[in-house]
Amino acid sequence: MALLPARAGRYREYVPAPTLRRHFSRLWSHALHDGPPAMVAIVPDGYCDLLWIDGRLVVAGPDRTAAFPVIRPGATVIGARFAPGAAAPWLKTPLSALVGCSIPLADIGRKDTAEFEARLANCPDPSDAAALFGRLLEETARDAEEPARDAAMIFAAADGGRPASGLLEHLGMSERQLRRRCHHHFGYGAKTLERIRRFQRFLDLCRKSGTMPLARLALEAGFADQPHMTREVGELSTLTPAIIFDQLSIGTRDD
């Protein structure tokens, strides 16, 4: 059975330095357990991440469904999650070209990649590497293009359970323009983004809800009913809501 990151190792998130917050919503690290390899399910969240893994900087594009990367036991992955609307200008690449992909940053053409990888390679201690990773990002952020404000608004609407189409007049866009902007900044259309963010609301509720029944979780997350939740959660993660609830609630008790 696939494990969510919280059950396959020690996953932690950190608030970025003030100079980074326009471009990155979170910094994070994931230290996998030693022992037999585990199948880790990286579920879609509507974001794009920059990773330091196995001596390389890698861009993890947005996913439509769960990904199952092969990560060696005991490894530590360090990451930075782009803020909504920040990844495409920073990478100078539309996210529609990165959906479901993990691509070395060097292949995208950033000129500073080799230098940053060499500096990170000289930090074998994960804590030192994470601190340096953040400082390197601060160096690049000084000259980075500003994130797209309309993308941040579209994401916030989806995150709050409001259809992005309701923003059309406010944004001064047609439906076709909205679709094009969503594909550029998120990799897929507004409807898919809304599904993924509703799924993420379900995950948040699982972490916090204690013993809330699944039927109540479904309604609180914004699903029509429990069968709707079961179908959508399965399509996005390959796991059942009950399995996810069990894994995340155990994680909360362990913390």
Task: For the sheet with 49-53, list strands across it.
Answer: 9-14, 24-32, 76-82, 49-53, 56-60, 102-104
Question: What is the helix (H) or strand (E) element at residue 149, kind and residue range?
Answer: helix 149-159
Q: How far apart are CA 53 and CA 196, in angstroms?
A: 25
What domains, with CATH codes, occur in the chain? 5-141 (no CATH), 153-254 (1.10.10.60)
- The confidence band for 253, taking pLDDT boundaries of 50, 70 and 90, is very low
Q: pLDDT tens, 60-109?
A: 999 999 999 888 888 999 999 999 999 999 999 999 999 999 999 999 98
Instruction: Report whether pLDDT(235) > 90.
Output: yes
Q: To the nearest whole number, what is the mean pLDDT of the chain?
A: 92
How many residues are present in the chain? 255
Contacts 24+ apart (CB under 8 A), 208-217: 208/252, 209/249, 210/249, 214/241, 214/242, 214/245, 217/241, 217/245
Number of other residues whose CB lies within 10 A of the CB of residue 70: 7
Check residue 6 and give its pLDDT. 84
pTM value? Answer: 0.93
Q: pLDDT tens, 95-147?
A: 999 999 999 999 998 888 999 999 999 998 999 999 999 999 999 988 888 99
Are the C-beta atoms of residues 232 and 199 closer than 8 Å to each other? yes
Q: pLDDT tens, 7-44?
A: 888 999 999 999 999 999 999 999 998 877 778 999 99
In this structure, what is the dihedral angle of CA atoms 149, 198, 201, 61, given to the nearest 10 degrees? -60
Check residue 88 and give its pLDDT. 96
The stretch 203-210 carries a mean pLDDT of 89
CA R_g for the chain: 18
